[in-house]
Amino acid sequence: MLPPVRIGPSILNSDLSKLAEECERMIECGADYLHLDVMDGHFVPNLTFGHPVVQSIRDNLGDRPFFDVHMMVSKPEQWVKPMADAKVNLFTFHLESTDKPQDLIKQIRDHGMKAGCGIKPGTPVSLLTELLYTQMCDCALVMTVEPGFGGQKFMKDMMPKVKALRDQFPDLDIEVDGGVSPDTIQYCAEAGANMIVSGSAIMRSSDPKGVINELRSVVEEFSVPR
């Protein structure tokens, strides 16, 4: 069996003028965690928010929601302590953003957070598996779009990366992010992903609870041996 299925709305697709309320709405709709996209305008050509906003959301929602910060930034190490202070649960950096990923994973854990590592579509999965054999992290993120912008088309050709990770690390949390919706979730489930990030498909739906339940149901269907 796969690790537990978790569905995480990407709150960047919400009404940012009432961010805390939107996050609370997602939790009430059954989200297992909140996926918070942090972009610095350097690692990706877009700018979102940083640790002060994350801290503000935490202050409004309390300790209950699980925060996964997706750090699309050039120097992730400088944001470890601020994000830890904001009570982030999972700090996910990009393999392409650092020359010392092993040290960064240790730094993240030393600050009381789980460590995730992601790769862009153009990065070979072998580089991530090599890291995982030398320094295991808590979550591997496979981007299914180019990071930096929402609303992109799902890249089905990233699924062999997910499958390669699942075959080699059966107990690892494997996350997919980008263009994931009820129309594409089966590909993710078949490949072995168990942490599902979905943005506009959930946030802009008239029935976000229904979408979350549908995504979960499909992944759970593929999470048991046949």
- Please compute the mean of the pLDDT values over residues 36-43 and round it to a whole number: 91
Task: Name the domain count of the chain.
Answer: 1
Q: What are the structure tokens assigned to 76, written together? A: 């992730």
8 A C-beta contact, residue 93 and residue 104: yes
Question: Which CATH number covers residue 207?
Answer: 3.20.20.70
pLDDT surpasses 80 at 18: yes
In a domain, 1, yes or no: no
- pLDDT tens digits for 195-219? 999 999 999 999 999 999 999 999 9
Tell me whether strands 139-143 and 173-177 are parallel, antiparallel or unpaired: parallel
Annotated catalytic residue, options 37, 40, 68, 173: 37
Average pLDDT of 174-181?
97
108 belongs to a structural domain = yes
The pTM of this model reads: 0.96
Three-state DSSP string of 1-23: CCCCCEEEEEHHHCCHHHHHHHH
Q: Is residue 226 part of a domain?
A: no
% of the chain beyond a pLDDT of 90:
88
Residue 196 resides in a domain:
yes
Give residue 223's pLDDT.
82
Does the pLDDT of residue 183 top 80, yes or no? Answer: yes
| Active-site residue flag, 37 | yes
Active-site residue (options: 32, 40, 138, 177): 177
In a domain, 167, yes or no: yes
User: Is there a domain that residue 34 lies in?
Assistant: yes
Give the structural domain span for 55: 6-221
Question: pLDDT at position 47, please?
Answer: 82
Partner residues linked to 92 by β-bridges? 70, 116
**Across 3-25, average pLDDT:** 94
The answer to whether residue 182 sits within a structural domain is: yes
Q: Are 79 and 104 in contact (CB under 8 A)?
A: no
The pLDDT of residue 225 = 62
Q: Do 10 and 47 form a contact (C-beta atoms < 8 A)?
A: no
Name the more confident of 13 and 89: 89
The kind and range of the H/E element at 166 are helix 159-168
Contacts 24+ apart (CB under 8 A), 110-113: 111/80, 111/81, 111/84, 112/84, 113/80, 113/83, 113/84, 113/88, 113/89
pLDDT of amino acid 1: 73
What DSSP designation does 114 have?
Answer: E
| pLDDT reported for residue 220 | 96
Torsion angles phi and psi, residue 165, rounded to 5: -65, -45
Name the residue with higher pLDDT: 12 or 213. 213
Q: With beta carbons less than 8 A apart as the criterion, state whether 95 and 128 touch.
A: yes
